[in-house]
Amino acid sequence: MGLIFENGNFSAFVEGFLRTIELSALSALFALLLGFVLAAFRVSPVPVLRWFGTAWVTVFRNTPLLLLFFAVTFMLPPLDVHLDSFTAAVIALSAYTGSFVCEVLRAGINTVPLGQAEAARSLGMGFGQTLSLVVLPQAARSVISPMGSVFIALPRNSAIAGAFNVPELFSFQKVLSEEAYDIFAIFFWIALAYLAISFSINAVFSTLERRVAVAR
Amino acid sequence: MTENSAELRDTAPLVALRGVNKHYGALHVLQDIDLEIAQGEVVVLIGPSGSGKSTLCRTINRLETIDSGTIEVDGRPLPAEGRELARLRAQVGMVFQSFNLFSHKTVLENVVLAQVKVGKVAKAEAERTARELLERVGVGAQADKYPSQLSGGQQQRVAIARALAMNPKVMLFDEPTSALDPEMVNEVLEVMRSLAARGMTMVVVTHEMGFARSAANRVLFMADGRIVEESTPDAFFTAPRTDRAKDFLSKILQH
Ligand SMILES: Nc1ncnc2c1ncn2[C@@H]1O[C@H](COP(=O)(O)OP(=O)(O)O)[C@@H](O)[C@H]1O
Ligand SMILES: [Mg+2]
């Protein structure tokens, strides 16, 4: 029992911290891309795409994240898909978070009056142009704040990856507890690290929100 | 109007609806609609609320699909949803009751956007066209404002300029003055009259009798999804033939 950052523990802590950031950032990127595609599917005029979007959201938003981790970790290898634990974690987190992004976007799209899309279409804009040039920019204002909540939850959700062999921030706790360091000190530092990440994300979204408010 | 409808209709129609039917569930909203509109003709659609005027108007650029029949614009049947249809829609201007200006864009950007993104016109040229058109409809000074900063009458004139910027072959107006305060109705009708005088082909859903009399070649009276009466504006307003039309006119003329 001693100071928790002795014996190279500090570099392990930093490594875990960076791994959590890496995992969250990659998952955020893919979740965002996936969310946009799914939202476009859900409002598209093609029934099959709408159905697919709805099915995806229903499945992934209603399944506990832990189960998704189990699924990618244990159900893919028998199908001859072998992924390292980090990739598997990114997939589980992106698939899960993407469904929330989709629903936030869709709610935002629904706040834009139908007449806006009709005017765009009547001027000859296609589906993609109508969505990207007219509807989504107007949805942005109502989307940013709930989108912030989705992305602030992401690093916290990523802690599950620690239980699936990804040496991220939260799993650092396991290592140190086994070495019998003061449990309160360990959790204090881990909590502080998560707080730092959440605050940064919050700052980004607050800035975005101000920008959009000014740019009408 | 110097030309009369009969002369106009000697040439091939610009818009032709044949045997058009549409249902909303059990409601038969368009029933066997046959309608030909000649190049340069101004047709006013009038009739009680719920008779299908908006729906008819919106089928012409396929904002509403139809169940049976054919619709041709400039001799070509309306294509199915996709690139072809988008191209056609660019040639059919539409003006809505609620203006529907893009609220996140300035007035100028509203008129420029589709020219650049759909018409592939260079930005500088699109802006020149936009300023000319805004000048023409009398809102040149508002170019850099946002739609919410304009009066309803000004917004509707911008919406007309936005549609004109695509150089449409025909313009559809769905109750363009119904959402306006009375003192703003005329400034919009004035713009529409001058469009008609320049030879624009127009389909106008409106109850503005003054406009119909001064600018329309033909009045179509709709009731329950059918065109039940068709005549010149003067004949229609002074001597309607059907009971439905007489009844309808007596109601709108009371006010
Ligand atoms: N999207 C829709 N779904 C179901 N019914 C509709 C829809 N749009 C219009 N209707 C109905 O169709 C009828 C005709 O509507 P509309 O064309 O808007 O009439 P008008 O413009 O002459 O007032 C009305 O009874 C209306 O309630
Ligand atoms: Mg209507």
Question: Per-residue pLDDT tens for B48-58?
Answer: 999 999 999 99
Given the cut 0.90, state whether the ipTM is greater than it: yes
> How far apart, in whole angstroms, are the C-alpha atoms of residue B220 and residue B247?
15
Query: Smallest Cα–Cα separation from B176: which of B29, B45, B6?
Result: B45
User: Quick one: which atom of ligand 1 is closest to the CA of B175?
Assistant: 21
B94 touches chain A (CB under 8 A): yes
pTM, 2 dp: 0.88
Shortest Cα distance, chain B CAs vs residue A112, angstroms: 10
Per CB-CB distance under 8 Å, the chain B contacts of A123 are 89-90, 113-114, 118, 162-163, 166
A183 touches chain B (CB under 8 A): no
With CA atoms as reference, the chain B residue closest to A214 would be B104
The CA distances from residue A100 to A41, A82, A96, A105, in Å, are: 14, 27, 7, 9
pLDDT above 70 (res B95)? yes
| Half-sphere exposure in the Cβ direction for B57 (13 Å, CA) | 29
Per CB-CB distance under 8 Å, the chain A contacts of B93 are 122
> How far apart, in whole angstroms, are the C-alpha atoms of residue B78 and residue B170?
14
What secondary structure does DSSP assign to A99-154, as a single string? HHHHHHHHHHHHHS-HHHHHHHHHTT--HHHIIIIIIHHHHHHHHHHHHHHHHHHH
pLDDT above 90 (res B253)? no
> How high is the pLDDT of residue A1?
46
**Which DSSP helix (H) or strand (E) runs through B108?**
helix B107-117
Q: Which CATH number fits domain A2-212: 3.40.50.2000, 3.30.56.10, 3.40.50.300, 1.10.3720.10?
A: 1.10.3720.10
Instruction: Count how many pairs of residues, chain A against chain B, have C-beta atoms within 8 Å.
Output: 67
> How high is the pLDDT of residue A63?
93
Residues with CB under 5 A from ligand 2 (ion): B 54
> How far apart, in whole angstroms, are the C-alpha atoms of residue A186 and residue B33?
78
Percentage of chain A lying above the pLDDT 90 cut: 67
> How high is the pLDDT of residue B109?
97
pLDDT band at residue B2 under the 50/70/90 scheme: very low
| B53 Cβ closer than 6 Å to some ligand 1 atom | yes
Check B102 against A120: CB less than 8 A apart: yes
Q: Structure tokens of B125? A: 């040229």
What does the pLDDT average to over A146-175? 89
The residue ranges of every structural domain in chain A are 2-212
Mean pLDDT of chain A: 90
> How far apart, in whole angstroms, are the C-alpha atoms of residue A171 and residue A176?
9
Q: B40 alpha carbon to ligand 1 midpoint, in Å?
A: 28
What does the pLDDT average to over A108-130? 96
> How high is the pLDDT of residue B1?
43
What does the pLDDT average to over B24-31? 96
Q: Amino acid identity of A41?
A: F
Contact A131, A105 (CB under 8 A): no
- For chain B, the distance separating the N- and C-terminal CA atoms, rounded to the nearest angstrom, is 28
> How high is the pLDDT of residue B249?
92
pLDDT (tens digit per residue) in A46-80: 999 999 999 999 999 999 999 999 999 888 888 88
What does the pLDDT average to over B133-157? 96
Q: A207 alpha carbon to ligand 2 midpoint, in Å?
A: 43
Better pLDDT: A164 or A24: A24
The residue ranges of every structural domain in chain B are 102-168
Give me the phi and psi of B230, to 5 degrees please: -145, 120
Shortest Cα distance, chain A CAs vs residue B253, angstroms: 31
pLDDT band at residue A132 under the 50/70/90 scheme: very high
Q: B50 alpha carbon to ligand 2 midpoint, in Å?
A: 7
What does the pLDDT average to over A198-205? 94
What value does the CA radius of gyration of chain A take, rounded to a whole number of Å?
Answer: 21
User: Quick one: which atom of ligand 1 is closest to the CA of B48?
Assistant: 22
| B29 Cβ closer than 6 Å to some ligand 1 atom | yes
Q: B131 alpha carbon to ligand 2 midpoint, in Å?
A: 31
Contact A1, A182 (CB under 8 A): yes
> How high is the pLDDT of residue B106?
96
A33 touches chain B (CB under 8 A): no
| B59 Cβ closer than 6 Å to some ligand 1 atom | no
